[in-house]
Chain A
């Protein structure tokens, strides 16, 4: 599990074909979460599965160099911080905790050319935070288990 298994077909399929497709689908599930099935947790699980696929194919020692453990812990904390930001921002603007109604979205709608409601914007902020936390913690659990294995 920690060592590299030398096979060109395995590395090509895992790194070039499968992992980018899975990551793009996960980001679609994240960004389309308030309209279609999906959301932050599902997108995080899908993207974490793609990262674990690369780790299984390349061997943990080589793949873990790209995303070190400290960065994963920071990503999980940043995700929690984004969630707290999405909860406290309406509190500052004069509404209840996690009540997205007063979030300003006019600048975003002008910038992106969409017609997003404040609640959809708030849900998107929350889901980005959940996404970062789920991805970082799932990959971190795998790294810790693989780091303590004998092979």
Chain B
């Protein structure tokens, strides 16, 4: 059907995960992690699991990013490794 769309989304998902792992700035890592969660939500919705996609979009892309930014404001913003 639209296999190339799912393939492109999956490629972007892997790229977002690698960027979130390798970036030094923690805020940038959290933003990339939100991108990862949103792409995962779109993929889940395309595969028919709308229930899981709703949870992933609301919790993974929304609330988790806010909570992680709040946790980063307590510790240092830049990571040494």
Binding site for B on A (CB under 8 A): 1, 29, 37-39, 41-42, 45-46, 48-49, 52, 56, 138, 141-142, 145-146, 148-151
Contact = CB atoms under 8 A, between A and B. Distances in A.
Sorted nearest first, the 7 A-B pairs with minimum C-beta distance are A45-B58, A37-B50, A145-B70, A149-B73, A49-B62, A42-B54, A37-B51
Contact of A149 (B55, B59, B70): B70
A37 B62 CA distance: 19
B51 A38 contact: yes
A138 B69 CA distance: 15
Contacts of A37: 50-51, 54
Contact size class for B?
A: 10 to 19
B66 interface: yes
6 contacts: A42-B54, A45-B62, A142-B66, A142-B70, A145-B71, A151-B73
Given A42-B55, A45-B59, A138-B63, A150 B70 contact: no
Contacts of A52: 62-63, 66
A42 B70 contact: no
Contacts of B46: none
A46 B74 contact: no
Given A1-B70, A145-B67, 9 more contacts: A37-B54, A38-B54, A41-B55, A42-B51, A45-B54, A46-B58, A142-B66, A150-B74, A151-B73
B63 A1 contact: no
A117 B62 CA distance: 35
A39 B73 CA distance: 33
Given A52-B62, A52-B63, A45 B70 contact: no
A56 B65 CA distance: 12
Contact of B73 (A1, A41, A138, A141): A1
Nearest to B51: A37
A29 to B, nearest CB: 7
